[in-house]
């Protein structure tokens, strides 16, 4: 699959190339084609905001449902169901859903384990969402 968008910071987007609706399984299979394994299917609420942060390692996102936008210094990238986003390590970004629908996406790594250290205030992180769910 050829990238449909590449930012100067190395961020790469692959738009869903198939003429069928993506499913959780088909998105995970696409991620695997890039040498990544998923470790978390994260669902975020409407009007979600994840403050500016970066990761120690390369990150991949495979959108399953909904629409959200990743904001980079070089500009915004909007993901919709089926799209794959690869963010190089150290690239600062924010995530914002500009709509009233939930968004779900796989997060993944080359190893398939979540060992990425996030830099930022943690607002909107997987851990923060889990704490909100416990309240």
What's the whole-number mean pLDDT along residues 95-116?
86
Residue 96 pLDDT exceeds 70: yes
Report pLDDT for 103: 97
What's the whole-number mean pLDDT along residues 102-126?
75
Query: What SS3 state is found at 46?
Result: coil
Q: In this predicted model, what pLDDT tens digit does every residue of 14-31 receive, in sequence order?
A: 999 999 999 999 999 999
Report pLDDT for 38: 81
Report pLDDT for 128: 65
* End-to-end Cα, the chain, rounded Å: 42
What strands, in cross-sheet order, belong to the sheet with 37-44? 5-6, 12-14, 84-87, 59-65, 103-109, 37-44
Q: Are 36 and 108 in contact (CB under 8 A)?
A: yes
Q: In this predicted model, what pLDDT tens digit does every residue of 38-86 receive, in sequence order?
A: 888 999 999 999 888 888 888 899 999 999 999 999 999 999 999 999 9
Q: What percent of the chain has pLDDT over 90?
A: 61
Q: In 3-state terms, the chain is what percent helix, strand and coil (to 5)?
A: 15, 40, 45
Residue 125 confidence class, pLDDT cut points 50, 70, 90: low
Candidate from 69-78, 109-118, 121-130 with smallest mean pLDDT? 121-130
Residue 116 pLDDT exceeds 80: no
Report pLDDT for 119: 67
């Amino acid at each position: 699959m050829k990238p449909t968008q590449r930012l100067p910071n190395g961020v790469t987007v692959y738009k869903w190339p198939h003429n069928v609706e993506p499913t959780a399984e088909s998105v995970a299979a696409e991620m695997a084609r890039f040498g990544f394994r998923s470790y978390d299917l994260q669902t975020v609420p409407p009007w979600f905001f994840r403050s500016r942060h970066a990761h120690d390692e390369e990150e991949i996102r495979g959108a399953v449902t909904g629409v959200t936008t990743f904001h980079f210094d070089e500009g915004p990238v909007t993901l919709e169901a089926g799209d794959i986003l690869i963010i190089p390590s150290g690239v600062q970004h924010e995530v914002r859903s500009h709509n009233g629908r939930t968004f779900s996406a796989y997060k993944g790594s080359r190893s398939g384990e979540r060992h990425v250290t996030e830099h930022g205030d943690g607002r909107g992180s997987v851990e923060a969402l889990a704490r909100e769910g416990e309240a």
